Each structure stands twice: as structure tokens, then as C-alpha cells.
Structure 1
């Protein structure tokens, strides 16, 4: 049976089917969404709860813990972490990738409802939850700034006009303001004036609650007209609150302005946001825009820009709306560069074919079949819901180098027969029939290489799924086209051999070089076959070398990319105030103003705590900068370290984030223990030890335990005698210093909070606590007969102590996380190994330490990669064993694998590259590539031995010489196919470069040595097989069907 026969006989059918494939591919290409990376739908949910004024310990024990206990009963939870600050608790949950996010959300909602009865009753609102995706990063950042407006005014315009408009754009999942400072009314009380007039802080609170109401008035139903009833129950601004009567003294009304002042302010006064541009700085708001999974990032960015132009027209002229960062620019540049790489790869491959064949007609065939195979793959990508991204296009760029193999092998076999005198039509029939089994073996065994990648777990598995499917589809299309279109085109395009025709100059040079190379190879192969023991020792040495290099090479995770932006985190000492941080972060801002290549930055002070801040820095496009992001960070680090009183961490975010914690470094090491004293000591010891590792920098711990705290020890007996309860005392403290929300203003477009506290000048020193008075209630004690003001100092003793600024939990256990960055040239794998060694020496047995985020993903990925490599080799062996009906010869073909691995590792080390996820996948792909040469040699040798009865040594010698040209062509095509990626061409090319280096290095090192190693093993294994057969009795022998019977 000849699979190609019908396609050769019916050229019209063949052409029409190929045009159909091409059409579907072109249509799919234009409809595919464009993104930077494949969409990874990582199910995660974030729960937020607030109790303004409550300290972190209260939030952790009374809010976080009850919620965590209920949430821990939900199935499919991978991790659960929480962090409690003053007044807020955030719980982050990540689920297994196969968990339905909607089902998980329903379970979370039920758990929150079940925990509500155990939460503090004075929480202003129940806990809320939102679906998140740690792998989904903002595609755009906009800044809205003004030199004349205050921050709350700016944010009000953003909240009421800009956010709704942008959120309505198709494909946008949400638009968020970072570090909100929404408009609010603040009631600043003066305790001295309150004491003079005999007003307690609790009276003011009750007066506000009762004085600002928004209740329904009902209706009047007359015989002819129905009237709605409404009243002026609401106070809409600070001016109206100042006139509110809060109490009476000697029959005279006491208004709020008599004992304090209402001001138009913001929800959080301890947040300052500034927009930094080269040479200037102004208040502003940062808006982050996220895309929906599966949507087109480039199209979304275009639509948002158009929408913004419309929104700008409705905003005051004093507001400036500018684009800080557009990831679509990087995506567009990356995809364009990868597409250019793909086109360059196809061109290089076609040039290789031309140089070997010296015929434009023959070169035309792969010039058509290679692009056709790649274009048809786009249809599979569209059906599978993929996108045009750097991963899928990188797969096609690499595929271009070896999808040509099938066409080259078929075409070369037909051309060789034509050169021997057969007509092109006859050569097409006989040549395609002869090579059919080889093509099937090469195609199926190469596709099998990518099957294990489909079963990789975690985000990395999802990330490379598109890579595996895209490249496998291209290979299958290549195999199909090489057995259908290629022989048909050979039959009608290749000219028959004419003794009178003179070959072209290029063909003469090509043939002369080729003959010399083949003669040299034939002579050296004879020598090699006569010294098999030396080859066996050599391959054993290479195997040992590969293992040795694997232990020595630096190992990383996901390569750093220059995406035209980076982040900065600032942290002052635990004792430092908000004003201290604001003044010192201004020095960082001044440094950034002078940064060459700066497009803009947004500096935020006081988020998430008053002693921490962050800066998002946007840079000009890489082609317009002299330095990369990593180089800029390394240059700025000494300048930042010279700013006194601050710990500054600069971080180039990875293309995809892992884990639920907010990350400020490439690595996170978390320590947990039920014993807080042990935890604090172990965390401090580990932080100190990690700082001693030479290659690690920017070491920051989440542990902040030295926050000065004024602690009131209530004299309960005295308080009771004065008619005061602990609840009244704490309620007064909360109203005075707790940023207490006492009411809400409802406007036509938004709602705003009203906060009660003491004036700013009464919040600067602990001694002002003695000025606070608590008014007794209706239940008087024996010491008082009428309501009276009782000074705080009378009913309690104030002492200064230390409390944590934040409390972290991991899996319901108290925890501390140490984050770190790496110095240039220091690998994540080395850092992880060093930290694990230190942990074994430092941590007591009751304290548990583990990596989180990217460091954890690195560990789990490399644990699975070795197993994945073994599975890949085993599957190839199984497929080859089935195809050849042999246990022995698949091993012959696989003997080149150590050469490929050693070559990849040698080249990675030579070019100072890490063995990361990309290069590891490249090595797995090498397994499929290097065995192609073995298949071509072994398959033809078996045919010569079977049909002509040649001994194994002579059969493999002839097979190697006959297959020398297609082997060289396919090898050079594969090398040149991966070369543009190895050179790191284009935007983001530095991330793809390790894979290209691994593929080129493995091919260059192994493919030529395979020409000598595989023949020796073939002879050795064939002799072994013959000896095993000789030991069997003739009657016990099972004679399998001839290997090619089904194709004859």
C-alpha cells in the first residue's frame, strides 16, 4: 500500500485540499486574540473585612481566625494566607486548577455567612469576597492628576466617571484604583473644648448617628394625586455638620463647631499619591485595568484608549489623564518580533534546502510545504481557544526548523531516484512508498515527545500547553503534507535528468562540497565501526559528563523580561510615622525624576501600612533606552540604599506571578509556628542568616513587631463605681482615635463616609490621652449621682509597650515571610539550596519553613521535570518498539540522547545561561529531534539487511552514506530554525533565548556525533539480537510480520 499514490494521481484534489487548509489557517490567524502569554485561569478568591481602628492583634484573633476556621472546611484549597493590619484583614485563597471558581465562590460565601455570628458586632459591614487571578496582571495603567485639585476631588471624578466608562469596555474585567483616598467628611473634636462644655465623645457619636439619616418618608394617597414624603434628614457636607447641635449645656445648644470642626477630607489621610514625570511631580490617582480571560489584550488596549478620549471631554480641564503604562505595546512588539523571527526562520530553512539541492524547483517544494504546515496550525489553535502569544509563536518558530524535515526526507529520496534515471512521476511513486514508514516513525515519535508536557501540573503546565499542542499540530500537518503534497509536487515540478543539461554553478559547488563531505564521512565512519569499544567508552563518558554538568549548572525558573516597567517598595522602621516615610520617600521620587528613559511613575505613601509605600515606574520602550530594566535596577540600588531610614526593594516583576501573597522579590520563604515567641525569634534569625548569602539582596521580612503602643489597664472597680463599663471606655477610645465611621452621606452618584476622631494636634503625643473624658451613662454608680465627665487617667493606667504592625497567617498558623531578590549572575536554584541549608541549621523542630510564590513553583517544577524526561524517553521507546516490532533497535535510536543533553548544558554554561523552564522544555524537545537521524539511518539499514541480506556493519555503512544528505539538510534546517531564538532577537527575546541556546547547542553537539555513535550501537545491538535468537529453538521462534508489509 502506498499512502501517497492517490494524492499523486489526483493533483487537483490535492491542491484543493491544501488550499482549504491554507484558507482555514489564514482566517484563524486573523481571528486569534493577541496576548503576551497563554491565559492561565488560576482560581483564587480574596476575602476582605474591616473594623476601623482595631489593632492587628484584634483583627487577627477576632476577624481573621473565625473566618479561616470556616474557610478551611472548603475542598480543593491549595493555600490560604491572611494578613491583618490596623482595621483591615485580607484573606487570600488559591484553589487547585481543576476547581470551578464559581463553585468555590459559593462555598466561600457560605463559609462567610457561617462565620458572621462569631465576628465582632460593630463591624461596619460584613466581609466581602472577590474572584481574583494571581496570574492576571494589569494590561494598562492610567494616571489622573491635577495641580489645583485635592486628591479626594480627583478620585471622585475617577470613581464616578472614568471607572464605569472603562469597565464597560468589552473584554475589561475590572478597573481598580490603587491606594484609595475617596472623599469623606472628618469631624475633628477638641477635647479641651468638650471638657469645658461637659460633652463626652460618646455623646458626639450618638448625635451624629441620629442627626444624619436617610430613611423613607412614605406616601400620601389622595383621591386624585399621590404624594411622596421626604425630609432633609441628610447632612451633605462639612459645612452642614458644623451647624449640628450635639448637646445642651445649661439650656444652651452646643453645636459641633463649638467643640471641634468638620472638614472635607478623605477616607484615608495617611495615603499620599504623586505622579512623577521627568522633572516634576503632582498629586494623582493610579488606575489599573485588567482584562478578562481569553480576551484580546491588544484590542482591549486600543478600545480603552478610544474610550479614554471620550471620557476626557467630560472631565474638568484642570484634570490631566495620561497613559502611564500600556502592556499592549510590549505585547505587540513581542508578537511582531516573534512573527518576524518565524518568517526569518522559514527563509533560513529554505536557503539551507537550496544550498544542498542547488535547484530552485526543488527548493520551491519546501518553500510551500513549510508555510502551509505552519498556517494550518493556526486553525487548530483557534479551535483549541489559544491565542497568538510569545509561547505559541515560539513553538511555531522552532517547528519551522524541523517540520521541513519530513518534506526534505521525502523530496531528497525522490530527487535521488530521479538522479539515478527514473522519471519524476515514477520516482514520486517509488520514493514516497519507500520512505513512508520512515516519515510515520519520525512524525509519531516526535509528537509523542510533547504528550507529557500536556500533563504537566500547575501553572507551568497550563503555560506550556499551548506550546505542546501548537508544535504537535505543526508536526502532524507536516507529516501529512510530506506524504501528500510533497510527492505530488515532486512528480510535476522536478525536471527529469538530462545528460545534455549542464548543472548550475550553485549546484556544481553544492555537489562538490557535498561529495567531499560524504567521502570524508565514509572514511571516518569505517574507522569508527572498526573501533566500537572506544565509542562505547566515549558515550559512557558523555553520559557521566551530562550528569555532572546538570549538578553544576545554575538553575532558574522563569527568565527575567524587560517589559518597560518595574516596582519599588519602601519601608521605614517599625517605629516610624507616616510623615517620616513621606518625607524620606520624596528623596526616592527626586532620584526617579532624573532617571534617563523615565516615562512616568506613581509614588504611593502609606499603603498598606503607614510605614510602607510603593512606586510603579514606567520606562520608555526598550529600543529607546540604553539600559535594560535589570541594569537600571542594579544601578539605582546603591542610590536608594543611601537614603537614610528606608529599606528600598526594587523588583522587575516576572511575566507571570505565582502564589497568593503580594510579592516584592523573586523569592519568598515563609516560617510558621503556633508559638509566637519561637516564630519571632526564628524569623529574625533566618532574616539575619539570609542576608549573609553573597548573591542575595533586598532581604525584607514581613515581621514588624516593634510598634510603640499605649496600653490602657482599666481599673474596673473604680470604673464601675463611677458608672462606666469597659465597653463605654473602649467605645470612647475608638471614637477618639480609631478613625471611626459614624455615618454615611448618600449622593446621586456615590456614597461617602463620615469619620469621627480628635484633632490632628491631639494625636501627636501619648500625653494627650489624659485629656480624653468619658461621660457616664444612665446607669450611674455609687460614686456619682448625675452624668459626669470622667478623665481617662482616673479609671486606668497608661503604659507604653510594643505590638506588631501586622500579623500574618499561613494555613491558620501565625507566620512570617522573608522576601529577597538576587544579584546579577546568582541563580534562584542556588539561592533556594543555600536557604534550605541555613533553615536546617537555624530553625528549631517546632518551626516549619517553606518556599512560596515563584521559589515554590521552581522547586515543584524541577521535581517533576526529571520524571517528565523519563516518561518522554519511555513513550518514544514504546512507539519505536511498536513501529519496529523490536525491543532492541529503539534503544539504538535513543543512544544519542546523552549527547543532546550534554550539548545543551555545555552551550548554556558557555553563554552563562540558567537551566530554567524554557531551556528544560527545549531539552525535552531535543529528545524528539536528535532521534530523527537515528531513525533515518536505522530504518534504511534494516531495509538493506532485510531485502539485500547485507551484514549489519555493511548495511549501516551504506545507509549512513545514502542518508547523509537528508541528515545534514534536516540538521542544518533545525539549527538555523532555532538560531533566531538563540540570538534573543526582539522584544522579550531574552526570555526565549535559553530555549534557543539549548536547542542549538544540543543539535550542534549531538547531531554530528550521532552519525558515528548510532551506527556503532546499531552493529553492537544487532549482534546481540542475533545471539539471543540463536539460542532459541527453531520451533519456539515467533516470526513477526515483515516490518513494511502493511505499506507494500
Structure 2
């Protein structure tokens, strides 16, 4: 007994199994997390180290290099980049995709511990690390603002009362704060008063550090009572420090207030943030890996009323960036597209069947297969995102194919006079191998993708598994539920029937005329087989030509409704001069009709360079603006006369970000050298060459080497005679200019610091250095001018490394209508003209590098898919020849896909590549249906090959038309979609629709001719083999 017969005679069991599958799928759908794209975890760890006051070159030499040497020995690192700026170093480690992030974190901590002895002893704390994912854009950004409070007060509220509560919400991965620093007790020292009273900077530091402690003091235990011991050893307000005795002069106590201005302020004077012109702190939230984005955002919003109750009345918490509306809109558009595709597919089936009873069968098979797929998605840990929904949309045209093939064959036997039960058994058994062949050969297309370890493989694994699951479920449904329903719902047509509806008759007449026209055309083709084979060869040549001329890219730009970027001013600008420019530029951006809100931050909380400020621009909803995100970014970026001396770099935030390095544009070209001086010479030349390329825009370099530096040249012989060593000088300068943290204050909700430096008016002129002195071991005050001279020079604002080599990155965006392939070709030509020396290694980085790797592997990926399909078909047919006949349908599909993409100006990205790979599995269905019936006719009815293939073409014409049109209309809504993420979905739909349209027209004629040619080759080979054997 065949398995199909079992289901036909057990209808209750079949329906209950189907119901169970639907219930499991519905439950899985409700539990699926929601995200814009599949979760692709790039195992990335960021190591941060601080040494206040250290120059970028000092940070690179004393902090970055020792750490890089230790970290570079960790297994699995694919890229290590670092950026050293004033007082801070950030090292980004990116690991292989299969590296366990927790194991990598343990190795990073061990490397930091190993490098501890090589790091400067003056570092306030050991380097720290945190896990990161560069592909995670913030899902929610809020501004905590006030017109009456300082940034420090706002930062304290955010850090103490808001950050922890948000971090506790399920799904939150990280909460970051920008725009200021914690409150602190500031000690601004006056050099002339220090000199007058003979007090050194170091003695002030020691006095302050020793004045406040919070150590455990123990307990007293009596016979019947116990007492805790505590004291007022900690000073926690500025007023308590003012009367602190720091020294004695002529028997008189010198108080701290005698030589300094002591007040409550902020740890870092050189950081600030603004929202709509008011002081603000930016609160950014990213989700944890695999978390439901919508549930995470909704959970945070549910906590906001409780958080706002604890805030002062003059403080406002505003949601500025909320990804959930865009994600909901995108998913709604995709789900709407799915519904349209389902309706179109059912309409196609109805046009061919014109029978409500027959229509019910594929109409049930379609949702059962799709809903059941959701159960598999949940078990695999996948999410409901654009790619998985695209897989379900494409599946609407596929999953109904199996049901159509089975239904059409059963219907044919009923029309021949068999009972519905017998027709269902015979019809399903006859095409079961056909259904199996179509499904497994389509699944084989995804084998190369599933085995890929690159970003493309990781990104589309969810797509491939989702579509594979739907196909396998569809195959099982078509061999179980479909024949059972056919045996119960389909009826024999009575001998005398009433007159059909005029519309039905018109459709039937049209289909009959179409079949007759096809039969006539097929006869002509059979008489001109050489011309047909020539046309097939022509399509192969056209594929190669079109592939070479179609524009190529990596991943379609998304419109997430968020722009991110940086404003850069002159390299020597002061913090005080920078602030009004940031406010002015933010106000100008707010005037753009597409902008909803602007947040900005500058100083240490932004990029780390003193001449930069970070901008977050939230756009209005897609249907409320006149341009997409990239177009808005391009028109806002650049220089403006209204804010002279600055330049803004903006780009649309993307859900997919490749590479650990940050840049001010979407694509990067990097230079590496063993020494920084070589890069200083060649980076400007490379940047100038790229600026001459009209295809590029927003060209920027992270190499900033024009900063002013005050160099202290020590006369070591004289310093030695005066009893001064270099360590004394470094300590004095550190105390004076580094905003040195000299004490820690422990409070209930947070820890704060006492920060010491010279008063701001003494940090504005290099001449201040001549008024400072060092106290030697004998207590003598030695002026700095007595053993050192001061000179000026240029110095970098940041030092970047890749691996352990100095590196610089030139970033660029593309002009509208320019592909990444065109841009890369232009850059390579420009680099060949300037002739970089052999000491510099140059190449694309980030997304541009990933595109280069994809371009090199794209032909091999297509060939691997072809090989996988050939192997599967060869095993199924036990033949070397028949798989070639089936695969001969592919060239026309490739021409159709590439030609439509060329006509519509669509780039061949990874999304379109998946569509072309799918075509390999789709269009061969036509050939499979023809060949299966032709082989059966030869074997059972004794027909000649030409008679068999001709009859197969005519008999399978209707199911071929039905399955092709179902797949075509399933992809059509994707190709014609609109909305913010339409650019993400349309390449897939265009590739499939174009390939199906042309392949349907050509393969109906080329397949039977190829079948006959290869049959003659096969027969000739067998005859030759037999003659050789007889000759032996």
C-alpha cells in the first residue's frame, strides 16, 4: 500500500494531522521575535582604555601597542583596529563568525591581564572590554533635556535613575549615554597663588586624596550590645573641600580656597549635548541578540511613565528615535505583499480550473504549508523579518505548484471516467516522483548557501531554511492532504451538463486557442531543431554579456528613518568655539522638511576628537517626506555658508553594518604602512585623487595630522643639576592640564570624583607653561623655563592601527544612480595612476571589501548551485543525460532576470543573486514535468522519443502554465512593492519575474529539442559502447 493510499482512506487522521500542523505553526508565529533583518552576530569585542591628558601618539605607543601585541595572539581574530585620541584608546576585535563570543571574551580578559605590566602605571584603571555587534543600530534614542539644568545634572539623572531601569527591560542589550559626564567636585588651581604660597601641584593632589576616605571601620562588641563604627572621613561637597588645609607657610595654614576655585561641576569640561537647542543627554538603546525588537521597545515605553514620575518637573524625557513604527510599517507592507501574492496565486489557479471544489484544494494547501513553516522557523530560533517574510512570499508561488501538479493529474483521470477515489490514487502515485524531483532539486539550490561561512551565508541561511521548510511541507501536503481532498471533493462530471457560464466558456476557449497555437508552434520548432539549438546557444552568450554589463552592488540601501554622522571643524578649534557651531548646524538641519528631530553631542562623549560632534537625525515617516533617507543625507551633508568652517557628514543608518571600524560614509578605502610618516604623506594624495572622481561624494579621511602641539624640550643636563627628573615634570603637567581625578566619592546611587586642573583661563595660552614650577626633592621650586624650552609643532588628533600597523581610512558615498561596482573600478583606476609605493598596503574595507569578496565568489556560487541540482537530478533519474535536459532551461531564465534588472536600473546585489539562484530551482520544473511524462510514454506506450516528448509538452501545457504563472504572480508584488523597504524587496521580485517571463516563453520550445538531441547522443553512445564490447 502506497503512503498516498493510506491518507486517502484515513481522512480523519489526515485532517487532524493537518490541524495539528496548523496549530503548531500558529503558535510558532505568535512566539516569533520581530526584527528588520535576521540576527547575524558578528563576534566583536571593544576594548577601551583611558589615560587622561595623554596625546594620541602617546596613547598609541604606550597603551594601544602593548594591548595589540597581547590581543593579537588570540585565536580567531579576523580584524583588529584601534583608534587612539586625546586620553583614550579604543580597540575593536572582530572574530570569525563561528567563534564563540563568550570564549573570546575570556581570552580578551586574559590578554588584558597579561599586558597589565606593560601599561603606564598612571592609568586610573585597567582597560575594560564589552561585547558589541556592529550590525546593531539603536532601536530607541531618547533625549533628557532641560532649560534650567546643566548637562552634568542631566547626565547624573540618566546614569543613576534611568539607565538601570531601562537595562532591566527584557530584550535590552546595552544602554549608552552621550552628551556630558557625571557631576564632580572641581578644583581649579591658580598658578600665581600657588607660587605665592610656595605650594606645588603635587602637594595639593596628595592633600586632597588623603582628605577623603570611606574605608571599613569595624564594630564594637559588648556583653549585650554591639556598635558599628563609622566617621565623617568622606567629603562629598565642594564647600567641605574649601577649608581643607593643604600646607603651611610661615606658621599659617594654607587652605585649598586660598589657591583654587572649588565648586560643584562636571568631571569633563569638554563634553556637551543638545536637543532642539537645549542642554541634553542622549540615551541610546540597542537590543540583545535574538530579542524581539517591537516587544523590547514596547517594554521600554511601558516603563517610561514610572521613570518620568521620579524626574524633576523641569526635566523632560523625549523619545527622539523610535524604530518600531518603521519596522511595523515595513512588516505590514511585507505581510500585505504576502496576502496579495496569495490572492493572485489563487486567482491563477481559479482561471485554469474554474471549479470552486477544485479551487478549495490548493487554496487550503497554500496556508497550511505557510503556517506550518512558522513552526519550523520558531524551532530554528529565527525571527519574523524582511528576509523570512520574503521567503514566505516567494513560497506562495512554489508551495501551490505541488498541489497543482497532483490536482491537475487527478482531474484528468476523473475526466477520463475514473471514480474520484481511484483517480486520486492513480493520479497522485503517477506524479509523486515528479513532485519529489521538483522539490528536492529546488532545495538543492540552497545547499551552497547553507554551507557558506561568510556574511552572505549567515544572512540568507534563515531565508534558505524558511523556504526549504515550506517546500518540504508543501510536498508532504500535496501527497497526503491534496489527494485525500480530491477523493472527497471532486466529482465526476455528468454526461449532460448545463451550459457553462459565458466567462468560463470564454476562458476555456482562450486556453484552447493558446494550446492550439502552442501545438502549431511546437510542430514548427520540431522541424527547425538546429535553429532552436542556435537560439539556446545565443541565450548562453547573452547571459555572459548581460552579467558583464549589469551594475552590481552589495546590499540595497535601507530607509530606517535615521541618519547618523559627524560634524568636523578646523583641527585646532577650541571647545568653546565649537559649541555655537554645533548648535547652529543643528538648528539648520531642523529646518529641513524631512527632519523630525536632531540630537548632537560633542567632546569626549562623541567621537573623542576635540574638533568633532556627533549628530543623530530622526526623519519623519516615509510617506510624510519628499525623499528617501539617503537623498536627505546627501542634501544635508557638506559645507554651508551659514555655518562657516565646518563640514557635516551624514549617512542613512543601516541594519546591516560590516566591519568594526567607524567612518563618516558608507564605503571605505584603507591604507596601511609600518610608520605613520608614510601615511601622512600619501593619505592626502589618495584623498585628493578620490575627490577627482565624479562618481563619489562625501569623501572624508580619518587622518587628522594638522593639530597644534606644544613641545617641551628638556635640557637633561641642566635638569639633573637642578635636581629635577622627567617623572616630576610629567606629574606636574598631568596635575595641571589632564583633569586629573584625585579622589573618589561613594554615594548611595553612584560614585563621583574630585577633579583637579588649572583654572580654565590658565589653559588658553602656551605661555602659561613658563609660570609653572617643579618642586625637587630638596623642596626647591624650579621654574619650568630653567631647564626646558617650549616650541610648537603639528601632531595628529588621532592615531589609527589595523593589526599593529598604522592605518588611515578614506570614506566615501556614491552619487545617485552610481553602483558600487562602478565606484570600485574608478577608485582602482585612480590608484593605478598615482602609483602607491610598495610600503603601503591599500584596499577596500568594510562593506566595499565584502562586495569585492562577493563579486569574486558570485560565479562560483551559481556554478555550485548548478552542480548541486545536477547531482540531485542525476541521482533521482539515474541518468547523466536527463539532468542536462532539465538544466537547459536555465540560460533563458538568466537572460530574463538580468535584462529586466538592466532595463529597470536595478543593481545585482545579494538579494537579486538569491532570486537568480531561485530561478535555477523554479524554471526546471517545466522540464521535469515534460521529461517525466515523456519517459513514461516511451516506456509504457512504446512511443518514439519525438512522439513522447511532443505528447508530454501538450499534456503538461496547462499545469506548466499554472505553476509558472503562480510563481510569477507570487513574485510580482515584491517587484512592484512600495514603501520604505521596497528597495530591499524589489530586486528579488524583479529577478524572479523577469526570469520566469522569458523562460516560460522559450523553454516550452527548447526543452523538447534538447531532449531529442541528448536522446540521440545517448543512443549513439550506447550503440558505440555495445559495438566496442562485441569487438572484444
Aligned partners of 2:1026 and 2:727: how far apart in 1? 98
| Partner of residue 933 from structure 2, selected from 922, 937, 940 | 940
1:517-532 to structure 2, matched below 5 A, reads 517-532=514-529
Aligned partners of 2:263 and 2:1007: how far apart in 1? 85
Give the match for residue 1044 of structure 1: none
Give SS of 1:1032's match: helix
Query: Structure 1, residues 1-41: CA drift from partner, whole Å, max 9, x if none?
Result: 64422211221221111111111111111111111111122
Give the match for residue 156 of structure 2: 156
Query: Structure 1, residues 518-568: CA drift from partner, whole Å, max 9, x if none?
Result: 111111111112112222222222211111111111111111111111113
Structure 1 residue runs of 5 or longer lacking an equivalent are 781-786, 1038-1048
Give SS of 1:155's match: helix
The yes-or-no answer on 1:414 pairing with 2:410 is yes
| CA-atom RMSD in angstroms | 1.6
Query: Structure 1, residues 454-487: CA drift from partner, whole Å, max 9, x if none?
Result: 1122232221111000100100111111111111
Cα offset, 1:639, TM superposition: 6.5
Give the match for residue 231 of structure 2: 231
Cα offset, 1:695, TM superposition: 1.3
The yes-or-no answer on 1:516 pairing with 2:513 is yes
| Partner of residue 848 from structure 1, selected from 841, 852, 860 | 841
- Contact 1:355-1:506 at 8 Å conserved across structures: no
Higher mean C-alpha deviation, range 948-957 or range 76-85: 948-957
- Contact 1:558-1:654 at 8 Å conserved across structures: no
1:215-614 to structure 2, matched below 5 A, reads 215-276=215-276, 281-502=277-498, 503-606=500-603, 607=606, 608-614=608-614
Give SS of 1:819's match: strand
Aligned partners of 1:181 and 1:390: how far apart in 2? 39
| Partner of residue 837 from structure 1, selected from 829, 834, 847 | 829
Give SS of 1:247's match: strand
Query: Structure 1, residues 216-241: CA drift from partner, whole Å, max 9, x if none?
Result: 33333333333332222222122222
Aligned partners of 2:939 and 2:685: how far apart in 1? 72
Give the match for residue 859 of structure 1: 852
Cα offset, 1:312, TM superposition: 0.8
Cα offset, 1:688, TM superposition: 1.1
Give the match for residue 751 of structure 1: 751
Query: Structure 1, residues 83-119: CA drift from partner, whole Å, max 9, x if none?
Result: 1111111111011111111111111111111110111
Query: Structure 1, residues 221-262: CA drift from partner, whole Å, max 9, x if none?
Result: 333333332222222122222222222221112212211201
Give SS of 1:367's match: helix
Aligned partners of 2:88 and 2:807: how far apart in 1? 17
Higher mean C-alpha deviation, range 81-90 or range 414-423: 414-423
- Contact 1:69-1:812 at 8 Å conserved across structures: yes
Higher mean C-alpha deviation, range 797-806 or range 244-253: 244-253
Give SS of 1:138's match: coil
Aligned partners of 2:1021 and 2:641: how far apart in 1? 72
| Partner of residue 921 from structure 1, selected from 914, 922, 925 | 914
| Partner of residue 956 from structure 2, selected from 939, 963, 971 | 963
- Contact 1:83-1:807 at 8 Å conserved across structures: yes
Query: Structure 1, residues 424-467: CA drift from partner, whole Å, max 9, x if none?
Result: 22221221122111111111111111122111222322211110
Give the match for residue 663 of structure 2: 663
- Contact 2:589-2:636 at 8 Å conserved across structures: no
Query: Structure 1, residues 314-349: CA drift from partner, whole Å, max 9, x if none?
Result: 111111111111212222222222122111111110
The yes-or-no answer on 1:1032 pairing with 2:1020 is no
Aligned partners of 2:644 and 2:539: how far apart in 1? 54
Cα offset, 1:179, TM superposition: 4.3
The yes-or-no answer on 1:899 pairing with 2:892 is yes
Cα offset, 1:131, TM superposition: 1.3
Aligned partners of 2:980 and 2:668: how far apart in 1? 28
Cα offset, 1:405, TM superposition: 0.7
The yes-or-no answer on 1:28 pairing with 2:28 is yes
Give SS of 1:604's match: strand
| Partner of residue 884 from structure 1, selected from 861, 868, 877 | 877
1:708-857 to structure 2, matched below 5 A, reads 708-777=708-777, 780=778, 787-841=779-833, 842-857=835-850
- Contact 2:180-2:273 at 8 Å conserved across structures: no
Aligned partners of 1:1024 and 1:907: how far apart in 2? 35
Aligned partners of 2:667 and 2:972: how far apart in 1? 32
Aligned partners of 1:181 and 1:833: how far apart in 2? 45
- Contact 1:341-1:985 at 8 Å conserved across structures: no
Query: Structure 1, residues 953-999: CA drift from partner, whole Å, max 9, x if none?
Result: 22211111111101111111111101111112344122111111111
Cα offset, 1:689, TM superposition: 0.9
Aligned partners of 2:144 and 2:1026: how far apart in 1? 89
Aligned partners of 2:915 and 2:200: how far apart in 1? 73
Aligned partners of 1:646 and 1:191: how far apart in 2? 35
Q: What is the TM-score when the length of structure 2 is the normalising length? A: 0.97
Cα offset, 1:1034, TM superposition: 7.5
Give the match for residue 1042 of structure 1: none
- Contact 1:198-1:788 at 8 Å conserved across structures: no
Give SS of 1:392's match: helix
Query: Structure 1, residues 621-668: CA drift from partner, whole Å, max 9, x if none?
Result: 212323221222233236748742122211012221111112332111
Structure 2 residue runs of 5 or longer lacking an equivalent are none
Count of aligned positions: 1025
Q: What is the TM-score when the length of structure 1 is the normalising length? A: 0.96
Aligned partners of 2:36 and 2:728: how far apart in 1? 57
Cα offset, 1:180, TM superposition: 4.2
| Residues 955/640 of structure 1: CA separation in 2 closer, same or farther (3 Å cut) | farther
- Contact 1:359-1:507 at 8 Å conserved across structures: no
Give SS of 2:240's match: helix
Give the match for residue 975 of structure 1: 968
Higher mean C-alpha deviation, range 73-82 or range 1027-1036: 1027-1036
Query: Structure 1, residues 994-1038: CA drift from partner, whole Å, max 9, x if none?
Result: 11111111111212211111111111111111111121227959x
Higher mean C-alpha deviation, range 170-179 or range 913-922: 170-179
Query: Structure 1, residues 27-68: CA drift from partner, whole Å, max 9, x if none?
Result: 111111111111122211111111100111111111111111
Give the match for residue 705 of structure 1: 705
- Contact 2:637-2:698 at 8 Å conserved across structures: no
- Contact 2:8-2:483 at 8 Å conserved across structures: yes
- Contact 1:549-1:902 at 8 Å conserved across structures: yes
Aligned partners of 1:648 and 1:322: how far apart in 2? 25
Query: Structure 1, residues 905-938: CA drift from partner, whole Å, max 9, x if none?
Result: 1111111111001001111011000101111111
Query: Structure 1, residues 572-594: CA drift from partner, whole Å, max 9, x if none?
Result: 12222223332322231121221
| Partner of residue 991 from structure 2, selected from 983, 991, 998 | 998
Give SS of 2:637's match: helix
Aligned partners of 2:534 and 2:720: how far apart in 1? 93
Cα offset, 1:849, TM superposition: 1.2
- Contact 1:366-1:407 at 8 Å conserved across structures: yes
- Contact 2:566-2:613 at 8 Å conserved across structures: yes
Higher mean C-alpha deviation, range 176-185 or range 868-877: 176-185
- Contact 1:906-1:1001 at 8 Å conserved across structures: yes
| Residues 668/638 of structure 1: CA separation in 2 closer, same or farther (3 Å cut) | closer
- Contact 1:428-1:491 at 8 Å conserved across structures: yes
Aligned partners of 1:638 and 1:215: how far apart in 2? 55
